[in-house]
Chain A
Amino acid sequence: MSQSQRQFMWLLAAGVALAIAGATLEGYSLRLLNLALLNVIAVIGLNFAYGYCGVIHLGQAAFVGIGAYVSALLSVKLGWSLWLSMPIALVCAGAFALVVSVPLTRLKGHYLALATVGVNVILELIAKNWVEVTNGYNGVTGIPRLTDLLPTIAPEKAFLPIASAATLVLVWMALRLRDSHLGRAMIAVRDDETAAVSVGISLARTKVIAFALSGVIGAGSGVLYAHYTGFISPSDFAVSQSILFLMMLVVGGEASVIGAILGAIALTFLPELMRDLAAGYIASGGSEKDIIARLLKDGYLAVYGLITLLVLMALPKGLAGLIWRKQAGTAP
């Protein structure tokens, strides 16, 4: 089987698994799955800048936010059709990413990381304080939903095929990009900048493309998020969310599309699992006030951090490394 056939089989299997999940899951679990898929999209985007190209990016939530806000505001305030507002939001995010990437990608290491945090903070402040346009802390409500197209089906169920299709198409694109001249150039730049330029790869061009690609894909996640939930607020796109995206990528296995998928799904479900564990512990006779119940219930983020730490220590290639342990390189 050729590589592309193998990839197609995997995508088909993932599609079938998602269809089964759609048929069996209900309510909140289904909502979580939808949100997990949107996180998968944002993290695959981040993988291009950070995983492949080594551009330490702590501002991915800003690009998710640009996608969400631009499309939401165009459709709510100007009454545009979401079929128009969604692509325009992607173009805006792409243009913004291109403009900021030129100065940003000249920076290295910690300076670059801090600058991306700066971009995120600035956009978050604009969303909070430009009240006339963004409604400030109150956020944007009444955003037309994609699921309104299928009013007879519960929105969670109706959105799953949309999120699944978007994710699977993106995974296909990401795998194809990984094996393209651009994918090789990005990985070469992260592995050894000096060697990369010496074999004819333009550092600036490669980094700018990787960063802009991350931004546009992140915005794609944001656009879908806005038109899924119908409500967005600045806190959805804070720096903490960017850090979470980066954690998802690192836990899943950086520089790997499969890793991005595993990390995003695992870290979306994990905190919810911790909450359920607390409820189970209390139901099985544990006191609501003892340390374990409190840790599971209120301190789930601490446990979640601990599990993340353990994964990082035990699996330097992330969750993807569990599957592709034997290979010397990285998972696809």
Chain B
Amino acid sequence: MTVVLETLELTKKFGGLVAVNAVSLSVNAGEAFAIIGPNGAGKSTFLNLLSGLMPPSYGDIFLNGEAVTRNAPHALRKQGMARTFQNGRLFPRLTVLENVMAGACPGERAHLLEIFMRRKIYDKWQATIAGRAEAALRRLNLWGLRDKFVKELPFGVQRNVEIARALAADARIVLLDEPAAGLNSAERVALVKTLNDLKNQGLAVVLIEHDMSLVMAWSDRIAVLNFGEKIAEGAPQEVRANPRVIEAYLGTEDGHA
């Protein structure tokens, strides 16, 4: 199996607080990998380290075998690391299509003057980008909404547009930060389908999620964080049975979380 993402002793300290403490893990191509843990366990911080939004205090990150620990987020996206955000971060002044097009050409450039001087070549390139965006939107059944602005859309649809934006350009791995939060049941069903599609297409998917039934049904492997430390890792059944995980997060059958 091809390892897409690997972290070694990844650590983030904020002053005296250790938000992520020496977390080592690896994610393979086509693997559904979930990270769970109580609020404040360091899950989102871990994702921010992976996607380059924060530099780690120590440790290393490898993407496709290459050290990318201090790469800028836009450079990481070009290298195939896509992500979404917990609170849905679309661009409100762009249409749905433009939002996805904005994410469809990481690292590709055209000279400013080409926009005016070599219009045919430039317009052809734009059509390619629009084509990628269209494919991503169709994949998530959003093509009919392409001319809408973000605030005209229900929250669940916005989350899906964000996933389309993350996937519009080639990605090797996609990091999803609580994509099921705030979704209604129909939207949740659509999300599960999307997640399964991603897995089947050979993408490595890292999911942070509180919805345990979704995580247990979908994941191949789960890592559990508590106070920044990885306390368990394994198949869903193993993690579910792990006493440390039950104590820290899952709770017992009588409903204690």
In whole Å, how far is B99's beta carbon from the nearest beta carbon of chain A? 8
Closest B residue to A195 by beta carbon equals: B89
Closest A residue to B89 by beta carbon equals: A195
Contact (A198, B77) CB under 8 Å given A181-B110, A328-B152, A329-B149: yes
Q: Which residues of A sit under 8 angstroms from B22, Cβ to Cβ?
A: none
Q: Which residues of A sit under 8 angstroms from B110, Cβ to Cβ?
A: 180-181
B-side interface residues, number (CB < 8 Å)? 40
Q: Which residues of A sit under 8 angstroms from B214, Cβ to Cβ?
A: none
Contact (A180, B102) CB under 8 Å given A197-B73, A199-B166, A255-B93: no
Q: Does B105 contact A (CB under 8 A)?
A: yes
Contact (A195, B72) CB under 8 Å given A177-B115, A182-B112, A200-B78: no
B105 in contact with A198 (CB, 8 Å): no
B152 in contact with A181 (CB, 8 Å): no
State the main secondary structure of chain A at its contact with B.
Answer: helix
Q: Which of A173, A185, A201, A330 has the most CB of B within 10 A?
A: A201
Q: Which residues of A sit under 8 angstroms from B166, Cβ to Cβ?
A: 199
Contact of A213 among B108, B112, B116, B169 (CB under 8 A): B112
B169 in contact with A181 (CB, 8 Å): no
Interface membership of chain B positions 85-104, coded 1 if the CB is closer than 8 angstroms to chain A and 0 otherwise: 10001111111001001110
B90 in contact with A181 (CB, 8 Å): no
Contact (A198, B93) CB under 8 Å given A213-B112, A328-B152: no
A269 to B130: give the CA distance in the assembly, Å. 42
Q: Which residues of B sit under 8 angstroms from A194, Cβ to Cβ?
A: 53, 85, 89
Interface membership of chain A positions 170-195, coded 1 if the CB is closer than 8 angstroms to chain B and 0 otherwise: 00010011001110110110111011
In whole Å, how far is B47's beta carbon from the nearest beta carbon of chain A? 10
Q: Does A158 contact B (CB under 8 A)?
A: no
Q: Does B51 contact A (CB under 8 A)?
A: yes
Q: Does A196 contact B (CB under 8 A)?
A: yes
A176 in contact with B151 (CB, 8 Å): no
Q: Does B41 contact A (CB under 8 A)?
A: no
In whole Å, how far is A330's beta carbon from the nearest beta carbon of chain B? 6
Closest A residue to B162 by beta carbon equals: A195
Q: Does A209 contact B (CB under 8 A)?
A: yes
B89 in contact with A192 (CB, 8 Å): yes
In whole Å, how far is A148's beta carbon from the nearest beta carbon of chain B? 29
Contact (A187, B91) CB under 8 Å given A200-B105, A200-B106, A328-B152: yes
Give the interface residue-count category, chain A.
Answer: 20 to 34
Q: Which residues of A sit under 8 angstroms from B82, Cβ to Cβ?
A: 198-199
Closest A residue to B151 by beta carbon equals: A328
Q: Does B49 contact A (CB under 8 A)?
A: no
Contact (A181, B91) CB under 8 Å given A176-B116, A199-B77: no
Contact of B116 among A173, A187, A199, A330 (CB under 8 A): A173
Q: Does A203 contact B (CB under 8 A)?
A: yes
> Which residues of chain B in 130-181 are interfacial with respect to chain A, using CB atoms and an 8 Å cutoff?
148-149, 151-152, 165-166, 169
B91 in contact with A188 (CB, 8 Å): yes
Contact of A329 among B73, B94, B106, B122 (CB under 8 A): B94
Contact (A329, B93) CB under 8 Å given A176-B115, A181-B129: yes
Q: Which residues of A sit under 8 angstroms from B74, Cβ to Cβ?
A: 197-198, 200-203
Interface membership of chain A positions 191-224, coded 1 if the CB is closer than 8 angstroms to chain B and 0 otherwise: 1101111111111000001000100000000000
Closest B residue to A327 by beta carbon equals: B149
Q: Which residues of A sit under 8 angstroms from B221, Cβ to Cβ?
A: none
A168 to B102: give the CA distance in the assembly, Å. 27
Q: Which residues of A sit under 8 angstroms from B169, Cβ to Cβ?
A: 200
Closest A residue to B116 by beta carbon equals: A173
Q: Does B83 contact A (CB under 8 A)?
A: yes
In whole Å, how far is A54's beta carbon from the nearest beta carbon of chain B? 10
In whole Å, how far is A136's beta carbon from the nearest beta carbon of chain B? 36
A198 in contact with B53 (CB, 8 Å): yes
Contact (A330, B93) CB under 8 Å given A200-B103, A200-B105: yes
Q: Which residues does B use to contact A, with CB under 8 Å?
A: 51-53, 72-74, 77-78, 82-83, 85, 89-95, 98, 101-103, 105-108, 110, 112, 115-116, 122, 126, 129, 148-149, 151-152, 165-166, 169
Task: Sample 28 A-B pairs with CB under 8 A, ordered by A number.
Answer: A173-B116, A181-B101, A181-B108, A182-B115, A184-B98, A187-B94, A188-B91, A192-B90, A195-B90, A197-B53, A197-B72, A197-B73, A197-B74, A198-B89, A199-B82, A199-B106, A199-B165, A199-B166, A200-B103, A201-B74, A201-B102, A213-B112, A328-B148, A328-B149, A328-B152, A329-B92, A329-B95, A330-B93
Q: Which residues does A use to contact B, with CB under 8 Å?
A: 173, 176-177, 180-182, 184-185, 187-188, 190-192, 194-203, 209, 213, 255, 327-330
